[in-house]
């Protein structure tokens, strides 16, 4: 059975940026079943204009919409996801798969386990995708291309359903990563929630110094702007993250304070240079670890000179042999010297062929383990 045939009717509750992008991505990849949207009248009107949904129901008609669906995506704020999970079990058909896109998983998974009947399948989900814009008018059919999509399956689930769902997510371009809910929330606290708190704290600290001199923010250049870009995030979403993941965030704020104290003590020693060098080395590995993905990628690094046409040389060389690059990232650049580019492939065979072709074109490259 084709992946899409398993889910003949897909319900998206909350047709905003993520929900709308899911609908558009599915249609772009050839989904011919029925996509049902549940939201407020304004959102549904815009979703219909963008041809993201085929049928629409009001929020008050959620039960009627859910009773038809084979797959339900809950794409609302965290507290609303939790509310819906408490009532959906009364309406869904046996073997319906329910999932969500919430950025916190422990509370959501716990609620699903308590309130959803055993004959209803549930998998927690979190696509690591987004935009500074909101609403279905900002929806993008390419939003999930090469995006990590975390799944947190903890209750028994029909194996064919699990496989079909994983295949569906990969069809829209996502890279599926399996994690336990607690580990997901801990990682999110470290790499997403802590940076947000740190950016807000830094912004407010310097803004307070602005009262002493008007030149503090006038001198805020690239580094400060980069570090505080997310300090302008709206609080609404973060209030829900705070109430569902505060324990993890506090743990990592304490760890960060401890690390900053190390830096403070190193400022008068030669150890700071080693600390900087270690940080630079570690940052290179941010995208390279694919362990835990439903289907791992096979990465290589390519050293390139600082001259025009180098990326074109790489892509044209591989395209000539119909080798598809699944992901590409510039890892580091040294002005007037060059840099390093990471390429990812779907199979080990493509990885080996890419290495052979690029080396034959005089490029220095190797596998990334």
* pLDDT, tens digit, 9 for 90 and up, residues 167-215: 999 999 898 999 999 999 999 999 989 999 999 999 999 999 998 998 9
Degrees to nearest 5, angle at CA 155 with 151 and 156: 110
pLDDT digits (tens, 9 = 90+) for 228-239: 888 888 888 889
Fold annotation for 3-179 = Rossmann fold (3.40.50)
Q: How high is the pLDDT of residue 3?
A: 64
- pLDDT beyond 70 at 2: no
DSSP state of 55: E
Residue 64 in this model has a pLDDT that exceeds 60: yes
Q: Which CATH superfamily is domain 183-283 in?
A: 6-phosphogluconate dehydrogenase C-terminal like domain (1.10.3660.10)
Q: Please answer whether residues 231 and 195 qualify as being in contact, where contact means their C-beta atoms are separated by less than 8 angstroms.
A: no
* Lowest-confidence pick of 8-17, 50-59, 219-228: 219-228
pLDDT over 80 at 268, yes or no: yes
Close Cβ partners of 43 (under 8 Å, ≥ 6 residues apart): 15, 16, 37, 135, 136
**Confidence (pLDDT) at 338:** 59
Rounded to the nearest angstrom, the gap between the alpha carbon of residue 88 and the centroid of all alpha carbons in its chain is 26
115-161 pLDDT tens trace: 999 888 999 999 988 766 788 988 888 889 888 899 998 888 888 88
Nearest-angstrom CA–CA distance, 242 and 228? 19
Angle at 182 between CA 140 and CA 252, to 5 degrees: 90
Residue 160: per-residue pLDDT: 86
Percent of the chain with pLDDT over 90: 57
Spans of all domains in the chain: 3-179, 183-283, 298-368
Residues 93, 302: Cα–Cα separation, whole Å? 51
Apex 180 CA angle, 248 and 153, nearest 5: 135
Residue 158's pLDDT is what? 82
Contact present, 69 and 95 (Cβ < 8 Å): no
Question: In this structure, what token pair is assigned to residue 103?
Answer: 């950025």
- Ranking 89-93, 165-169, 213-217, 329-333 by mean pLDDT, the lowest is 329-333
Architecture of the 298-368 domain: 2-Layer Sandwich (3.30)
For 292: left if phi > 0, alpha if psi spans -120 to 50, otherwise beta; the answer is left
Of 246, 358, 360, which is closest to residue 310 (Cα–Cα)?
Answer: 358
pLDDT, position 290: 45
Q: What is the mean pLDDT of the chain?
A: 88
pLDDT of residue 195: 93
């Amino acid at each position: 059975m084709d992946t899409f045939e398993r889910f003949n009717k897909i319900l998206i509750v909350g047709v905003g940026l993520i929900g709308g992008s899911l609908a558009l991505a599915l249609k772009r990849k050839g989904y011919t079943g029925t996509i049902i949207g549940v939201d407020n009248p304004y959102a549904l009107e815009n979703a219909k204009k963008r041809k993201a949904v085929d049928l629409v129901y009001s929020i008050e008609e959620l039960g009627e919409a859910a009773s038809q669906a084979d797959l339900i995506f809950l794409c609302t704020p965290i507290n609303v996801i939790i509310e819906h999970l408490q009532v959906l079990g009364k309406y869904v058909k046996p073997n319906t798969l329910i999932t969500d896109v919430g950025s916190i998983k422990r509370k959501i998974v716990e609620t699903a386990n308590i309130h959803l009947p055993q004959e209803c399948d549930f998998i927690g989900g979190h696509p690591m995708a987004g935009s500074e814009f909101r609403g279905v008018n900002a929806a993008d059919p390419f939003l999930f291309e090469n995006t990590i999509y975390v799944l947190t399956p903890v209750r028994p689930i029909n194996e064919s359903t699990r496989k079909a769902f994983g295949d569906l997510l990969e069809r829209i371009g996502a890279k599926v990563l399996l994690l336990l809910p607690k580990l997901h929330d801990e990682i999110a606290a470290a790499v997403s929630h802590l940076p947000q708190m740190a950016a807000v704290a830094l912004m407010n600290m310097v803004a307070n110094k602005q009262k002493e001199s008007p030149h503090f923010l006038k001198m805020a250049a690239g580094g400060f702007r980069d570090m505080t870009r997310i300090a302008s995030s709206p609080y609404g979403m973060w209030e829900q993250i705070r109430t569902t993941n505060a324990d993890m965030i506090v743990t990592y704020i304490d760890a960060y304070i401890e690390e900053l104290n190390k830096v403070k003590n190193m400022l008068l020693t030669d150890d700071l240079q080693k600390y900087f060098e270690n940080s630079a080395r570690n940052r290179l590995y941010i995208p390279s670890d694919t362990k835990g993905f439903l289907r791992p990628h096979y990465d290589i690094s390519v050293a390139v000179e600082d001259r025009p046409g180098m990326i074109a040389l790489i892509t044209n060389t591989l395209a000539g042999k119909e080798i598809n690059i699944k992901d590409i990232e510039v890892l580091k650049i040294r002005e007037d010297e060059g840099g390093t580019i990471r390429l990812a492939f779907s199979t080990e065979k493509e990885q080996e062929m890419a290495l052979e072709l690029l080396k034959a074109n005089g490029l220095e490259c190797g596998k990334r383990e």
